[in-house]
Chain A
Amino acid sequence: MKLTLKIWRQKNANTKGRFETYQAEASPDMSFLEMLDVLNEDLISQKQEPVAFEHDCREGICGTCNMVINGEPHGPMQGTTTCQLHMRHFNDGDTIVIEPFRASAFPVIKDLAIDRDSFDRIIQAGGYVSINTGQAQDGNAIPIEKETAAEAFDAASCIGCGACVAACPNASAMLFVSAKVSHLAHMPQGKVEAKRRAQAMVNQMDEEGFGRCSNITACEAECPKEISVEHIARLNREYLSSSVGSQVKA
């Protein structure tokens, strides 16, 4: 199949970017990234700079790959990362527009590669259970309802790719933050410091310059792991109760 690609090229964070148009050949069994690999091989053979894009596991789990394809983070297939998107979902002759995730808290490094350190700093602010190695009791000491564990898992399946931010017209990171807050608040081990965690992570999120959630739910619609905005409600609950409650100090 023949494709026209309009790809955002930007030398680095300080230069202006623009769209470049390329013609590409693909087979329907290729993944989207393999299609870009072929384009890059082609560019290299013409001694041109390949398109910089980040990727790693190519199994949809590491969260490295990003890019907005035809206006949607990770492209048109729901519940699918870019690396798992296959060309059979496109048609011969299609024009595909490829852009980086756009948000102030995700500055562009080069072309489609972006910097997502802000997510790490949010986790560092409190996205953990405060125990040291060796302090654990037996794994079966606290029974956990099967459904509760499953719900916690749903939230914990977040891959930290940032598609929620990219999809959100407000560039809000609420789905990411809420997934971690909700995962840990579901588990008895994480419940203990749930309030403090919600406060700390939201504060950090605000400091990083993410936008305010207005419940547009584009994040859920575009999340490659289909994480629900129910978790955002849970975060709101934890945050509200910790703000007006007495556990977290004034």
Chain B
Amino acid sequence: MPFEANVPPGPLGEKWTQYRGTMNLVAPNNKRRIEIIVVGTGLAGASAAATLGELGYKVKCFTFHDSPRRAHSIAAQGGINAAKNYQNDGDSVYRLFYDTIKGGDYRSRESNVHRLAEVSRNIIDQAVAQGVPFAREYGGLLANRSFGGVQVSRTFYARGQTGQQLLLGAYQSLSRQISKGSVEMYNRHEMLDLVIEDGKARGIIARNLLTGELERHAAHCVVLGTGGYGNVFYLSTNAMNSNGTAAWRAVRRGAYMANPCFTQIHPTCIPQSGDYQSKLTLMSESLRNDGRVWVPKNQEDAKAIREGQKTANDIPEEERDYYLERRYPAFGNLVPRDVASRAAKVACDEGLGVAPTGLAVFLDFESAIMRYGRSEANTRGIDNPSEAKIRELGKSVVEEKYGNLFEMYEKITGDNPYQTPMKIYPAVHYTMGGLWVDYNLQTNIPGLFSIGESNFSDHGANRLGASALMQGLADGYFVLPYTIGQFLSKEIRTPKIEPTSEAFDKAEQDVQHRLDQLMNIKGNQSVESFHRRLGKIMWDYCGMSRNADGLQKARKMIRELKDEFYSDVFIPGDAKDYNPELEKAHRVADFMELGELMMVDALDRNESCGGHFREEYQTEEGEALRDDENYAYVSAWAYNGWEEEPVLHKEELVFENVELKTRSYK
């Protein structure tokens, strides 16, 4: 199987332009005959399916949701980056490229990231043309805000619902193609296997989630835009149904999984409140524009807060430790996510946590409210405004910026964040790891492409805020529709693929066998209980910090859990019916395999970088210690089940345009 990054020649800034100009094309008459399967309808999947349909290909698009509009991209809050430099603050394609490479702790491919920065500008234009209601200034032009890890304002946003608006834009474009007949939409269908014929991806086995029937779907190539696998941790900010099964099934058919241990722990989430909890809710990173993170300086105060004897407002200014501002004066509260998360963990480990569980820090808007209030009073020409007036004015400014987030916080916690600071704690949010892809976004299986969060390509070991939306749409609108032609131009003589070959028979039998196996266990424990236990193992040993002993131990624990699962799980209902428990069971079974591979990957990487923090590898100040000499590679793993040891393939990362430096936000 080919394992070559296929980065085109030429200087970094011209690679994509030159490559695009010399790429093989597929003529319109051939496009009409060529079929493409797109799995997933998030930003990446929907934008790709729509664009491929517009180009004239015959597209079949699949989602396990009841509608393409439900994909979890919809929940992205803060914004989308683009190197537009509308603010005239020194932004450029190169700076976005550099910030992303640096933010990713130098573990991503230069050429891919530069291309991402280039097309970022087109995304904004495209979204505006679709009618996406981005925030505007009074002059009618697009507004921007800042996000973590950067010193320019390049984030475009639509209140706290940017993902929703961008996804609806893509969904609407997709709907237009569905109505034209160029895309055939399959709602409530879950991909349960990939079919490979003669070494090429030629179709999928999908389960109709309403009837339980298995269906075969054939095409000239398959595109996976199936998102990340953060739910391996059980508790995450991912949607309840987000899962890794489609991608994992591709892995089990030979695709390589790259950097699986690179997971992003987002610093600002609402802390867990009880064991029954099923998911965690993110509070957008944009809040760190104006919120200040702190814990009490001494443990007694923290303890008093935990026990409810004191509140945040009882702690005087000089007794508060604004630890991000203290430790990282250059970036302050806007350090990248991995740094902010770890710092919160350190504070809580020192006994300074402020929630009953001991796992929370404050995110305080008091100074922002007063600052905005004074400025607003000034604008309105109010002389000597009272403190109450300033607070009132400031509150309305903050409300306009973050109103829906504050409301959501209040709904969930019952606390009013305008009066008392928010309590936040890190939670699993995004997975930088994913299917290994080359410059064309093609996996090592010819004809199998992976886009958006489901691939590993652009974010290295840590993703910057507002870059996931950018990457999903870049892949779907502006990269894949070109690069897929490199593969399809060689397929114009291939007749329609029929789902009747032996490969399809075999794949369907395999799926049927797995489902039968699960249904026939008839044990006593619910799927949910296994998932919860798996998540705990993952979080404790492969979460914000990892060490070799723990990882080895955890790997064993996962294997034991797996054995218990396959002997004692209980799935009610029938396989040939609408059965959400069976869907979950299949996903959890795959998560366990993936979880094991994450342990193996984390164990292999004897360095700390980005979201991967190995306790053995840190500076004296507790910062991540990279090892560029030995680990400047992408780990691409072949995984073939519990019985075989995963096999590592290394793609060495070559940095020709940036100098590898210790990431410093001080």
Q: In the complex, is A directly touching B at CB under 8 Å? A: yes
Interface, chain A (partner B; CB < 8 A): 12, 27, 29-31, 33-34, 37-38, 41, 43-45, 47-50, 52, 54-64, 77, 79-80, 84, 86, 88, 109-110, 113, 115-117, 119-120, 123-140, 143-146, 149-150, 152-153, 156-157, 159-160, 183-184, 186-187, 189-190
A133 touches B477 (CB 8 A): yes
Which listed segment binds A: B256-264, B271-279, B302-310, B418-426?
B271-279
Extra inter-chain contacts (4) besides given A41-B529, A117-B67, A145-B140, CB under 8 Å: A45-B526, A57-B72, A133-B51, A149-B133
Q: Which of B70, B126, B159, B572 contacts A56 (CB 8 A)?
A: B70
Nearest-CB residue, chain A, relative to B160: A61
Instruction: Establish whether residues A37 and B276, one from each chain, have CB atoms under 8 Å apart when the complex forms.
Output: yes
- Are B172 and A59 closer than 8 Å at their CB atoms? no
Asked if B131 and A183 sit within 8 Å, CB to CB, the answer is yes
Interface size class of B (residues with CB under 8 A): 35 or more
Residues B67 and A47 in contact, CB atoms below 8 Å apart: no
Partner of B136 from the list A56, A61, A144, A189 (CB cut-off 8 Å) is: A144
Give the residue of B54, B75, B125, B140 whose beta carbon is less than 8 angstroms from that of A59: B75
Cα–Cα, bound, A133→B480 (Å): 12
User: B578 to A129, Cβ gap below 8 A?
Assistant: no
| Complex Cα spacing A55 to B178, Å | 25
Q: Contact mask B16-58 → A, CB, 8 Å, 1/0?
A: 0000000000000000000000000000000100110010000
Tell me which of B158, B176, B239, B573 contacts A130 (CB under 8 A): B176
B321 within 8 A of A: no
Contact status B581-A50, CB under 8 Å: yes
Interface status of B454 (Cβ within 8 A of chain A): no
Q: Contact: A160 with B276, CB < 8 Å?
A: no
9 A-B pairs within 8 Å (CB atoms) are namely A29-B414, A55-B240, A62-B74, A131-B129, A131-B130, A143-B139, A149-B135, A152-B131, A189-B130
Q: How far is the CA of A29 from the CA of B355 in the complex (A)?
A: 14
B69 at the interface (CB under 8 A from A): yes
Tell me which residues across on chain B come within 8 A of A152, comparing CB atoms.
131, 133
Q: Point out the residues of chain B lying under 8 angstroms from A126, CB to CB.
A: 179
Q: Is B567 interfacial (CB 8 A cutoff)?
A: no
**A187, B70: Cβ atoms closer than 8 Å:** no
Residues of B within 8 A of A (CB): 47, 50-51, 54, 65-70, 72, 74-75, 84, 86, 122, 124-142, 158-159, 161, 163-165, 168, 171-173, 175-176, 178-179, 185, 187, 210, 239-241, 273-274, 276-279, 281-282, 407-408, 411-412, 414, 477-478, 481, 524, 526, 528-529, 570, 572-573, 578, 580-581
A50 interface neighbour in B69, B142, B173, B572, Cβ under 8 Å: B572
Could you tell me the distance between the alpha carbons of A184 and B528 in the complex, rounded to whole angstroms?
42
- Given the known A-B contacts A41-B526, A109-B210, are A139 and B128 also in contact in the complex, defined by CB atoms under 8 Å? yes
- Which A residues are CB-close (under 8 A) to B51? 132-133
A136–B241 Cα distance when bound, in Å, is 34
B125 close to A61 (CB less than 8 A): no
A44 and B572 within 8 A (CB)? yes
B84 to A120, Cβ gap below 8 A? no
Bound: A160/B74 CA distance, A = 12
Are B125 and A139 within 8 A (Cβ)? Answer: yes
Residues of A within 8 A of B124 (CB): 139
CB pair A124 B135 closer than 8 Å: no
- Whose C-beta in chain A lies nearest to the C-beta of B71? A62
Nearest residue (CB) in B for A184 is B131
**B239 touches which one: A34, A57, A129 (CB < 8 A)?**
A57
How many Å from the CB of A189 to the closest CB on chain B? 5
Q: How far is the CB of B430 from chain A (nearest CB, A)?
A: 15
Report the nearest B residue to A116, measured CB to CB: B66
Nearest 4 CB-CB pairings of A with B: A143-B140, A128-B172, A136-B129, A136-B125
